[in-house]
Structure 1
């Protein structure tokens, strides 16, 4: 979805520097220093306006969260919410991450969340999907043993593709649903802004949680 332009977006983003990381690649191997503790670190890749990660950070003060968003105008909305929440265990980063190993050291994360990623529907763009094997192998490198990936999407074709990729790499599926909001999984309780709209429209949301 095309976002409206925001005047002086760079200056407005800078005003929230307390809650953001300017250059995530420079933090590789040293993310714990930002949080000043040894708690597990989780990342949401494509956090949108921040509702999902902020709720997780509120519910789990014993965990740290990094919320990544590439679009500056969208990230600004997330940072505005972060300023209100004032949670010490979450940071935001502006980036279009193509290779997570450029940002994180081996075993530096405990888990990754992928919510409503771009489906890249054309076959020739399959390698751009965040659940393509090349991305999954990167996640497996930066996530420590028994760490998890959780993936939600409203796009049925993308979900089917993702399940094939997960199985092709022999990752263990822990939870699976083609309609998470009519399931018993606790993961349905924390939603994104987009997800709330889909729920209101009674659109099924696909969900899978797996170990890499």
Structure 2
């Protein structure tokens, strides 16, 4: 492990907005009340990476609580540090495996989920690891409030098509579906938040896919 990674892992141990592994379990069902000290809705960003989307959403919506979820602490460090430096108090980061999500959130506790540029896991043998596979969709159904949205932004056309197919196959409710977000009518202030990697994709003239759906 490089020196920077070691330093970042050490630093997040003392970050007040980072919870690692079992540290997040006591807040299950009580994130707003006991962690954020309010009654505001909870929004998750899964596989949040450096947390750019999480922090930007929290800045735009101070009346909501945002939690970025990822297992790679050296990436979480960036978003957590930015939030602390900028005084963005309605954001936290949870360092866990996403497969264990239901150990940390109660039924109906989450208002909305964002999945921004996750690993598409293109190999058929890794389908179960795709964050919109039935395995994960079942988890989201459990923790989302009725009618809660799932948002997916991805540069990977295959992953987008896979997810669109699952929405139809499982008879979920599709709200927005576009294979080229920035040439569509949907690119508002929220959807125009750009991560480091998204900027690179756009510079290479890559189209950005977006899906918004909910469970009936």
Partner residue in 1 for 2:6: 7
Normalized against structure 2, the TM-score is what? 0.91
Deviations 1:91-144 (A, max 9, x none): 111112104222110000001000111111111110110000111111011100
Alignment of 1:188 onto 2:188: no
Partner residue in 1 for 2:26: 26
Report the Cα offset of residue 76 of structure 1: 1.4
Cα distance in 2 for partners of 1:39, 1:120 equals 34
Report the Cα offset of residue 146 of structure 1: 1.1
Matched position secondary structure for 1:189: coil
How big is the alpha-carbon RMSD for the aligned residues of Structure 1 and Structure 2?
A: 1.7
Partner residue in 2 for 1:164: 165
Cα distance in 1 for partners of 2:91, 2:81 equals 13
Unaligned runs of 5+ in 1: none
Report the Cα offset of residue 5 of structure 1: 5.3
Equivalent residue runs for 1:188-207 within 5 Å: 188-207=191-210
Unaligned runs of 5+ in 2: none
**Closer, same or farther: CA 119–43 of 1 in aligned 2, 3 Å:** same
Q: Is the 8 A contact 1:50 1:81 kept in 2?
A: no
Cα distance in 1 for partners of 2:103, 2:131 equals 15
Q: Is the 8 A contact 2:80 2:92 kept in 1?
A: no
Normalized against structure 1, the TM-score is what? 0.93
Partner residue in 2 for 1:124: 125
